[in-house]
Protein backbone atom coordinates (compact mmCIF):
# COMPACT_ATOMS: atom_id res chain seq x y z
CA UNK A 1 0.00 0.00 0.00
CA UNK A 2 1.35 3.44 -0.89
CA UNK A 3 0.44 6.81 0.65
CA UNK A 4 0.69 10.16 -1.08
CA UNK A 5 2.48 12.89 0.89
CA UNK A 6 3.21 16.55 0.23
CA UNK A 7 6.28 18.56 1.14
CA UNK A 8 5.96 20.87 4.14
CA UNK A 9 5.81 24.52 3.07
CA UNK A 10 7.92 25.62 6.05
CA UNK A 11 10.94 23.61 4.91
CA UNK A 12 10.85 23.35 1.14
CA UNK A 13 14.64 23.12 0.83
CA UNK A 14 14.92 19.94 2.90
CA UNK A 15 13.89 16.82 0.92
CA UNK A 16 13.07 14.85 4.06
CA UNK A 17 10.94 17.56 5.71
CA UNK A 18 7.50 16.58 4.51
CA UNK A 19 3.88 16.66 5.65
CA UNK A 20 1.95 13.42 5.38
CA UNK A 21 -1.46 13.27 3.80
CA UNK A 22 -2.47 10.93 6.63
CA UNK A 23 -4.67 12.94 9.06
CA UNK A 24 -2.71 14.45 11.92
CA UNK A 25 0.57 12.84 10.87
CA UNK A 26 3.67 14.88 9.99
CA UNK A 27 7.09 13.62 9.07
CA UNK A 28 9.75 15.76 10.77
CA UNK A 29 12.97 17.13 9.28
CA UNK A 30 15.53 14.38 8.81
CA UNK A 31 19.15 14.25 7.72
CA UNK A 32 19.20 12.45 4.38
CA UNK A 33 22.36 10.85 3.13
CA UNK A 34 22.72 10.72 -0.68
CA UNK A 35 23.69 7.31 -2.03
CA UNK A 36 26.98 8.62 -3.38
CA UNK A 37 27.93 9.84 0.11
CA UNK A 38 26.91 6.47 1.50
CA UNK A 39 29.33 4.71 -0.83
CA UNK A 40 32.15 7.10 0.10
CA UNK A 41 31.62 6.43 3.82
CA UNK A 42 31.40 2.69 3.22
CA UNK A 43 34.69 2.68 1.31
CA UNK A 44 36.48 4.82 3.90
CA UNK A 45 35.31 2.67 6.81
CA UNK A 46 35.82 -0.72 5.13
CA UNK A 47 39.60 -0.91 5.12
CA UNK A 48 39.23 -3.45 7.90
CA UNK A 49 36.23 -5.19 9.41
CA UNK A 50 34.82 -5.23 12.91
CA UNK A 51 34.79 -8.26 15.19
CA UNK A 52 31.78 -9.30 17.27
CA UNK A 53 33.02 -7.60 20.44
CA UNK A 54 33.38 -4.28 18.62
CA UNK A 55 29.96 -4.70 16.99
CA UNK A 56 28.37 -5.35 20.39
CA UNK A 57 29.93 -2.16 21.79
CA UNK A 58 28.90 0.00 18.84
CA UNK A 59 25.36 -1.33 18.29
CA UNK A 60 24.34 -2.30 21.82
CA UNK A 61 23.28 -5.74 20.58
CA UNK A 62 24.13 -8.96 22.37
CA UNK A 63 26.26 -11.79 21.04
CA UNK A 64 23.18 -14.00 21.07
CA UNK A 65 21.25 -11.55 18.89
CA UNK A 66 24.08 -11.28 16.36
CA UNK A 67 24.38 -15.06 16.10
CA UNK A 68 20.62 -15.50 15.77
CA UNK A 69 20.26 -12.81 13.09
CA UNK A 70 23.19 -14.34 11.22
CA UNK A 71 21.85 -17.90 11.42
CA UNK A 72 18.36 -16.83 10.29
CA UNK A 73 19.68 -14.75 7.39
CA UNK A 74 18.42 -11.36 8.59
CA UNK A 75 21.85 -9.70 8.77
CA UNK A 76 25.00 -11.70 8.07
CA UNK A 77 28.61 -10.51 8.40
CA UNK A 78 29.76 -9.60 4.91
CA UNK A 79 33.53 -9.50 5.54
CA UNK A 80 33.98 -12.92 7.12
CA UNK A 81 31.30 -15.47 7.98
CA UNK A 82 31.47 -17.92 10.87
CA UNK A 83 32.67 -21.29 9.61
CA UNK A 84 32.61 -23.73 12.48
CA UNK A 85 33.88 -23.61 16.03
CA UNK A 86 36.67 -21.12 16.66
CA UNK A 87 35.99 -19.01 13.57
CA UNK A 88 35.24 -15.32 13.92
CA UNK A 89 32.49 -13.24 12.38
CA UNK A 90 33.77 -9.99 10.87
CA UNK A 91 31.30 -7.25 9.92
CA UNK A 92 31.61 -4.32 7.53
CA UNK A 93 30.63 -0.74 8.38
CA UNK A 94 27.51 -1.12 6.23
CA UNK A 95 26.62 -4.22 8.27
CA UNK A 96 26.82 -2.02 11.40
CA UNK A 97 24.35 0.41 9.86
CA UNK A 98 21.87 -2.39 9.15
CA UNK A 99 22.26 -3.77 12.66
CA UNK A 100 21.67 -0.36 14.23
CA UNK A 101 18.61 0.27 12.03
CA UNK A 102 17.03 -3.03 13.13
CA UNK A 103 17.99 -2.36 16.75
CA UNK A 104 16.39 1.11 16.50
CA UNK A 105 13.18 -0.33 15.05
CA UNK A 106 13.08 -2.97 17.78
CA UNK A 107 13.53 -0.23 20.40
CA UNK A 108 10.46 1.50 18.93
CA UNK A 109 8.43 -1.67 19.42
CA UNK A 110 8.57 -3.16 15.92
CA UNK A 111 8.58 -6.93 16.13
CA UNK A 112 11.41 -8.91 14.58
CA UNK A 113 8.81 -10.71 12.47
CA UNK A 114 7.66 -7.35 11.04
CA UNK A 115 11.27 -6.37 10.30
CA UNK A 116 11.88 -9.68 8.49
CA UNK A 117 8.67 -9.22 6.49
CA UNK A 118 9.72 -5.70 5.49
CA UNK A 119 13.22 -6.74 4.48
CA UNK A 120 11.85 -9.65 2.44
CA UNK A 121 9.45 -7.32 0.63
CA UNK A 122 12.19 -4.77 -0.13
CA UNK A 123 14.61 -7.42 -1.38
CA UNK A 124 11.95 -8.89 -3.67
CA UNK A 125 10.38 -5.69 -5.00
CA UNK A 126 13.33 -3.27 -4.86
CA UNK A 127 16.26 -5.31 -6.09
CA UNK A 128 17.93 -2.10 -7.27
CA UNK A 129 18.62 -1.24 -3.60
CA UNK A 130 21.43 -3.61 -2.64
CA UNK A 131 21.29 -2.98 1.12
CA UNK A 132 17.80 -1.59 1.88
CA UNK A 133 18.30 -1.47 5.64
CA UNK A 134 21.41 0.67 5.20
CA UNK A 135 20.18 2.91 2.38
CA UNK A 136 16.51 3.68 3.03
CA UNK A 137 14.75 5.69 5.73
CA UNK A 138 12.01 4.03 7.77
CA UNK A 139 9.08 5.43 9.70
CA UNK A 140 7.19 3.59 12.44
CA UNK A 141 4.94 3.97 15.46
CA UNK A 142 5.91 0.56 16.79
CA UNK A 143 3.19 -1.26 14.84
CA UNK A 144 3.22 -0.16 11.24
CA UNK A 145 6.49 0.12 9.31
CA UNK A 146 6.98 2.36 6.27
CA UNK A 147 9.86 2.98 3.92
CA UNK A 148 10.40 6.48 2.55
CA UNK A 149 11.39 6.50 -1.12
CA UNK A 150 13.25 8.93 -3.36
CA UNK A 151 9.87 10.01 -4.72
CA UNK A 152 8.57 12.64 -2.28
CA UNK A 153 4.98 11.63 -3.09
CA UNK A 154 5.31 7.95 -2.16
CA UNK A 155 5.69 6.07 1.11
CA UNK A 156 5.66 2.25 1.02
CA UNK A 157 3.55 0.58 3.70
CA UNK A 158 5.48 -2.52 4.71
CA UNK A 159 3.24 -3.90 7.47
CA UNK A 160 -0.23 -2.24 7.09
CA UNK A 161 -0.89 -1.57 10.80
CA UNK A 162 -1.22 1.51 13.07
CA UNK A 163 -0.39 5.21 12.54
CA UNK A 164 2.95 6.85 11.65
CA UNK A 165 4.43 9.10 14.32
CA UNK A 166 8.18 8.34 14.57
CA UNK A 167 10.94 8.68 11.95
CA UNK A 168 14.21 6.73 11.98
CA UNK A 169 16.87 8.56 9.94
CA UNK A 170 19.57 6.36 8.50
CA UNK A 171 21.70 9.41 7.60
CA UNK A 172 21.95 10.56 11.23
CA UNK A 173 22.62 7.00 12.34
CA UNK A 174 25.53 6.72 9.87
CA UNK A 175 27.14 9.87 11.27
CA UNK A 176 26.79 8.61 14.83
CA UNK A 177 28.16 5.18 13.95
CA UNK A 178 31.13 6.69 12.14
CA UNK A 179 31.96 8.84 15.17
CA UNK A 180 31.73 5.82 17.49
CA UNK A 181 33.95 3.67 15.28
CA UNK A 182 36.53 6.44 14.91
CA UNK A 183 36.57 6.90 18.69
CA UNK A 184 37.07 3.17 19.25
CA UNK A 185 39.89 3.02 16.68
CA UNK A 186 41.71 6.11 17.97
CA UNK A 187 45.29 5.44 19.20
CA UNK A 188 45.96 5.86 22.90
CA UNK A 189 49.20 7.36 24.14
CA UNK A 190 51.14 5.84 27.02
CA UNK A 191 54.80 5.25 27.87
CA UNK A 192 57.26 2.56 28.94
CA UNK A 193 60.57 2.93 30.73
CA UNK A 194 63.79 1.14 29.82
CA UNK A 195 66.60 1.95 32.19
CA UNK A 196 66.37 5.64 33.00
CA UNK A 197 64.69 6.60 29.74
CA UNK A 198 60.95 6.89 29.17
CA UNK A 199 59.65 6.16 25.68
CA UNK A 200 56.34 7.28 24.20
CA UNK A 201 54.08 4.41 23.08
CA UNK A 202 51.02 4.56 20.82
CA UNK A 203 48.49 1.78 21.39
CA UNK A 204 45.82 1.21 18.71
CA UNK A 205 42.83 -1.14 19.16
CA UNK A 206 42.55 -3.90 16.55
CA UNK A 207 38.84 -3.77 15.72
CA UNK A 208 38.96 -6.82 13.44
CA UNK A 209 40.98 -9.45 15.31
CA UNK A 210 40.73 -7.92 18.78
CA UNK A 211 43.49 -6.85 21.15
CA UNK A 212 45.88 -3.94 20.71
CA UNK A 213 48.88 -2.99 18.56
CA UNK A 214 51.58 -1.00 20.35
CA UNK A 215 54.47 0.86 18.74
CA UNK A 216 57.27 3.20 19.78
CA UNK A 217 57.23 6.10 17.25
CA UNK A 218 60.84 7.15 17.88
CA UNK A 219 62.10 3.61 17.26
CA UNK A 220 61.05 2.63 13.71
CA UNK A 221 59.92 -0.97 13.46
CA UNK A 222 59.51 -1.41 17.21
CA UNK A 223 55.97 -2.82 17.20
CA UNK A 224 54.20 -5.49 19.22
CA UNK A 225 50.68 -6.51 20.19
CA UNK A 226 48.67 -8.05 23.00
CA UNK A 227 45.17 -9.18 23.91
CA UNK A 228 44.91 -6.49 26.59
CA UNK A 229 46.28 -2.98 26.95
CA UNK A 230 48.61 -4.08 29.75
CA UNK A 231 49.87 -7.04 27.72
CA UNK A 232 50.50 -4.84 24.67
CA UNK A 233 52.56 -2.40 26.81
CA UNK A 234 54.57 -5.23 28.34
CA UNK A 235 55.21 -6.82 24.95
CA UNK A 236 56.28 -3.58 23.29
CA UNK A 237 58.64 -2.85 26.18
CA UNK A 238 60.25 -6.26 25.64
CA UNK A 239 60.49 -5.51 21.91
CA UNK A 240 62.01 -2.13 22.74
CA UNK A 241 64.72 -3.71 24.87
CA UNK A 242 65.68 -5.91 21.94
CA UNK A 243 65.48 -3.01 19.51
CA UNK A 244 67.83 -0.89 21.67
CA UNK A 245 70.29 -3.77 22.03
CA UNK A 246 70.45 -4.16 18.25
CA UNK A 247 70.91 -0.43 17.79
CA UNK A 248 73.65 -0.36 20.42
CA UNK A 249 75.45 -3.24 18.71
CA UNK A 250 75.16 -1.57 15.33
CA UNK A 251 76.48 1.70 16.70
CA UNK A 252 79.43 -0.12 18.31
CA UNK A 253 80.29 -1.88 15.05
CA UNK A 254 80.27 1.42 13.23
CA UNK A 255 82.56 2.98 15.82
CA UNK A 256 85.11 0.16 15.47
CA UNK A 257 84.81 0.18 11.72
- Residue-wise pLDDT tens digits, 158-177: 765 333 334 456 677 788 88
Cα 251 to the center of its chain, rounded Å: 47
Rounded Cα gap, residues 96 and 91, in angstroms? 7
* 92 and 211 co-located in one domain: no
How does DSSP classify residue 209?
A: T
Q: How much is the pLDDT for 4?
A: 28
Check residues 37 and 173 and name the one with the higher pLDDT. 173
Residue range(s) defining the domain that contains residue 136: 2-182
Residue 236's pLDDT band, with cuts at 50, 70 and 90, is: very high
**64 and 24 part of one domain:** yes
Domain-ending residue, one of 135, 155, 182: 182
Position 63 confidence tier, pLDDT thresholds 50, 70, 90: very high
- How confident is the model at residue 250, as a pLDDT? 74
CATH number of the domain to which 77 belongs: 1.10.1660.10
**Residue 134 φ/ψ region, left for φ over 0, alpha for ψ in the -120 to 50 degree band, beta for the rest:** alpha
- Do 85 and 167 fall within a single domain? yes
What pLDDT was estimated at residue 155?
63
- When computed from its CA atoms, the radius of gyration of the chain, rounded to whole angstroms, is 25
- Per-residue pLDDT, averaged over 213-237, amounts to 94
Assign residue 94 a region (left: φ > 0; alpha: ψ between -120 and 50; beta: otherwise): alpha
26: pLDDT confidence band, cut at 50, 70 and 90? very low
pLDDT tens per residue across span 65-119: 999 999 998 899 999 998 877 778 999 998 998 899 888 888 888 888 888 888 7
- Both 96 and 213 in one domain: the answer is no
| pLDDT beyond 70 at 241 | yes
Select from 182, 201, 230 the last residue of a domain: 182
Above 70 in pLDDT, residue 25? no
CATH number, residue 220: 3.30.160.250
In this structure, are 120 and 9 located in the same domain? yes
Same domain for 155 and 196: no
Residue 1, pLDDT > 70, answer no
| End-of-domain residue from the set 141, 160, 182 | 182
* Half-sphere exposure (Cβ direction) of 165: Cα atoms closer than 13 Å: 9
Q: State whether 114 and 204 are in the same domain.
A: no
Same domain, 220 and 127: no
Total domain count, the chain: 2
Same domain, 83 and 158: yes
The reply to whether 145 and 226 lie within a common domain is: no
Residues 85 and 157 in one domain: yes
Q: Same domain for 144 and 40? A: yes
Amino acid sequence: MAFSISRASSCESTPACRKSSLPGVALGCEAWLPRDDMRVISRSMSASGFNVRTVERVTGLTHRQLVHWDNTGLIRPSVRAARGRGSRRVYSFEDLIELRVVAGLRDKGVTLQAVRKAVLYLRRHHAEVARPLARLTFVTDGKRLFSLTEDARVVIDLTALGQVVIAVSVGQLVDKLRAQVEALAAPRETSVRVGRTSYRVLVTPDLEDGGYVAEVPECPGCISQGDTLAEARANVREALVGWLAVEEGTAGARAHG
